[in-house]
Amino acid sequence: MPPGLELIDLRRRFGDVVALDGVSLRVDEGTVVGFVGPNGAGKTTAMRIALGVLAADAGEVRWRGRPVDGPARRRFGYIPEERGLYPKMRVLDQLVYLARLHGVGRAAAQARGQEILDALGFADRARDRVENLSLGNQQRVQLAAALVHQPDVLVLDEPFSGLDPVGTDVLVEMLDRERRERGVPIVFSSHQLELVERICDRVAMILDGRIVADGTIDELRASRERQLLRVEVSGDADGWFESIPGVRLAESVPDGVVLELEDGTDHQRVLDLARSVGEVRHFSMVRPTLSQLFREVVSS
């Protein structure tokens, strides 16, 4: 995979607060990276530095292996956390203007603006002023603004927040198309971890200004060296598993338990014991969701 966007050892302080403490992140061409972490962990700061609207105290942003300069940066597409459009400007005028600021010629900008509105099913609102649109529709214009100049890379800060399920599907589809058809590397931050798990190739987890986990979901799962078993046994037999060494209760679930097994503990011993207690209705390895991994990382 050729390197697309790379953040290398970014550091940034605001007064006494360390916002970024050596953040490195790589978004290869044609991949979607989810950027997750609790509020205040440094996601927005890292993305603003990537876009050049904030300066880093140290570190570097590279694009295709070279330090990012003005012309390269104008090929970036960006949705900032706090959003931002001219409230009184008409939708199409706004898109054309933003395309032109990104270096697109006048005629091409006009055509692209129309095209992106068509693609978003939004052409009938082209003459509306942004302030007269619903928040969800403003969000769509915001996405169009990020895509109108056919960017080489997309950096999206919380692009899904405020979207209804339909809007979410539209955005997912748009991102997928950008990636598939043009190989655009995409990094976006989100708190909707199921969504991240569904559409991202890789996930980077940030905590207190440091990247604490970075990889595919499977890699992240593997890195949390744990085995979880979900067992449902009929009959009232609380604590039936306690006699097996290396097994402890991870979580009680309806009709059963999730057990955490230490390395080297034999599943079959657990199964045998369960069968001796009652009828085993369910017995499976549990794959931790991204949410569970996230909670574990944050709490550890």
Partner 1 sequence: MSLEPAATDRGMWRVVASRDFWVRLHDKGFVISTAITLTVLTVFILIRAYGGGPDSFTLGVVGNDELGRRVAALGDRSGLDVTVVRLDDEGAADRALRDGEVDGVVLGDVDQGTASLRVLRDPPDLLDQLVQGAAIGLRLDTVLDEADVPEATIEELNDRHPVTTSRIERPDPDRDAKAAVAFAIVLIMYGQLFGYGVWVATGVIEEKSSRVVEILLSAIRARQLMAGKILGIGALGLLQLLLIAAFAVTLANVTGAIDLPADSLSAAAITLGWFILGFAFYASTFAVAGALVSRMEELQNAIVPINLLVFASFFLSISAVQDPDSTMAVVASLLPISSALAMPVRMVLGAATPWEIALSLAIIIGCTVLLIPLAGRVYAGAILRTGSKVRIRDAWRAAE
Nearer to partner 1, 126 or 298 (CB): 126
Stretch that binds partner 1, among 24-32, 145-153, 164-172, 188-196 (CB under 8 A): 145-153
Nearer to partner 1, 89 or 195 (CB): 89
The DSSP symbol for 4 reads -
Which of 64, 75, 230, 267 touches partner 1 (CB under 8 A)?
75
Q: With both helix axes pointing from N to C terminus, report the angle between 106-119 and 135-147 in degrees, rounded to the nearest 10.
A: 130
Note the Cα 243 to chain centre separation in Å. 42
Q: Which x/- pattern over 43-62 shows residues binding partner 1 (rule: CB under 8 A)?
A: -----x--xxxxx-------
Report how far residue 147's alpha carbon sits from residue 77's, in angstroms, rounded to the nearest whole number.
6
Verify binding: residue 150, partner 1, rule CB under 8 A.
yes
Verify binding: residue 137, partner 1, rule CB under 8 A.
no
Nearer to partner 1, 106 or 180 (CB): 106
Q: State the nearest-atom distance from the C-beta of 234 to partner 1, in Å.
A: 58
Report how far residue 94's alpha carbon sits from residue 9's, in angstroms, rounded to the nearest whole number.
36
Q: Could you tell me the two tokens for 176?
A: 């997928």
Q: State the nearest-atom distance from the C-beta of 148 to partner 1, in Å.
A: 10
Report how far residue 277's alpha carbon sits from residue 241's, in angstroms, rounded to the nearest whole number.
10
Stretch that binds partner 1, among 103-111, 177-185, 204-212, 263-271 (CB under 8 A): 103-111
Verify binding: residue 112, partner 1, rule CB under 8 A.
yes
SS (H, E, C) 76-109: EEEECCCCCCCCCCEHHHHHHHHHHHCCCCHHHH
DSSP 28-52: -TT-EEEEE--TTSSHHHHHHHHHT
Contacts with partner 1, residue ranges (CB under 8 A): 48, 51-55, 70-71, 73-76, 78, 80, 82-87, 89, 97-98, 100-105, 107-108, 111-112, 145, 149-150
